[in-house]
């Protein structure tokens, strides 16, 4: 048993799981090669904490053993590994500049049809589509027919999203006007929680979807805007290009694509024109 393996095993036996620098570097390199995600060197403690749960589930004694599981690119552990290390913070009005600009950018579409159709791809536990609904209700009110499709691969997070129930702490940072518009306070057994108001929830259709499937069921298309934020970073470049082509085809002419702050589209051939701040407009021609 090498020194790294011994140190890991001894720490586990003492209830103190330790990840060696060498094993951390190997895991970080694997993650980057597989997904393009680059973890900073100071993330060792974070990686150790998140992967410790996987070691316990799998009954492994060391992080090196876990690393060996990942050396097979077809290992069933890969999705768990990626999920463990790519959890993103989700919150209401995350990357708020997108919602500040949303209504002004959609006004031409609203003027033409009075109908707004948006897709939240990778909606997680629902904060993004609910923020979209809140923003559109404030901006257009009853003057628009609002339809929001919210999809995710994970059925568990979709269940949470569809319920629309959150701890009170999740909305503490919101202005009182947003709280009044969109939330009901729980009482009794539900004290300390809030529920999204029915008039907000009814604007959203939640559906399970794998973005890597060859065919998507999206009868709501064409959309005037697609939000796919902090999702494409998990895919390799060919898959990203394929997704962007499909998004292009599902957008109305001049439709809008919103991506995460680290997902800038640098290739002008992808069929989108940058409007700044990771907002893009569909051009007429796509590759």
Catalytic residues: 50, 152
ω into 222 cis (within 30 of 0): yes
Q: Is 280 helix (H, G, I), strand (E, B) or coil?
A: strand
The side-by-side arrangement of strands in the sheet containing 115-121 is 204-208, 145-152, 115-121, 223-228, 251-259, 279-282, 272-276
Q: Which residues does 283 contact at the CB level (< 8 Å), separation at least 6?
A: 271, 272, 273
Buried b (16+ CB within 10 A) or exposed e, 241-271: bebbeebbebbbeebbbbbbeeeebeeeebb
Token code pair at residue 192: 């300390």
Q: Residue 283 burial by CB count (10 A; 0-12/13-18/19+): exposed, middle or buried?
A: middle
Q: Considering only CA atoms, which of 96, 158, 151, 163 is closest in space to residue 125?
A: 158
Dihedral pair phi/psi, residue 184, rounded to 5°: -115, 135
């Amino acid at each position: 048993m090498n020194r790294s393996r011994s140190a890991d095993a001894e720490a586990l036996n003492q209830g103190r799981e330790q990840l060696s620098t060498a094993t951390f570097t190997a895991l970080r390199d694997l993650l980057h090669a597989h997904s393009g995600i680059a973890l900073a060197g100071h993330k060792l403690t974070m990686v150790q904490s998140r992967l410790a749960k996987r070691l316990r589930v799998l009954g492994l004694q060391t992080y090196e053993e876990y690393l060996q599981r990942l050396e097979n690119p077809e290992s069933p552990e890969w999705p768990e590994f990626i999920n463990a290390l790519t959890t993103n913070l989700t919150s209401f009005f995350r990357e708020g500049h997108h919602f500040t600009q949303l209504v002004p950018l959609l006004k031409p579409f609203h003027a033409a049809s009075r109908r707004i159709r948006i897709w939240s791809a990778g909606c997680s536990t629902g904060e993004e589509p609910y923020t979209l609904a809140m923003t559109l209700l404030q901006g257009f009110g009853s003057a628009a027919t609002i339809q929001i499709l919210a999809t995710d691969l994970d059925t568990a997070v979709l269940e949470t999203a569809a319920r629309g129930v959150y701890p009170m702490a999740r909305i503490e940072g919101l202005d009182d006007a947003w709280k009044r518009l969109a939330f009901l306070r729980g009482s009794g057994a539900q004290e300390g929680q809030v529920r999204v108001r029915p008039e907000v929830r009814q604007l959203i259709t939640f559906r399970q979807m794998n973005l890597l499937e060859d065919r998507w069921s999206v009868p709501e298309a064409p959309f005037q805007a697609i939000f796919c934020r902090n999702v494409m970073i998990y895919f390799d470049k060919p898959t990203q290009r394929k997704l962007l082509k499909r998004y292009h085809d599902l957008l109305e002419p001049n439709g809008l694509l919103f991506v995460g702050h680290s997902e800038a589209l640098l290739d002008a051939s992808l069929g989108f024109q940058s409007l700044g701040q990771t907002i893009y407009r569909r051009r007429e021609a796509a590759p």
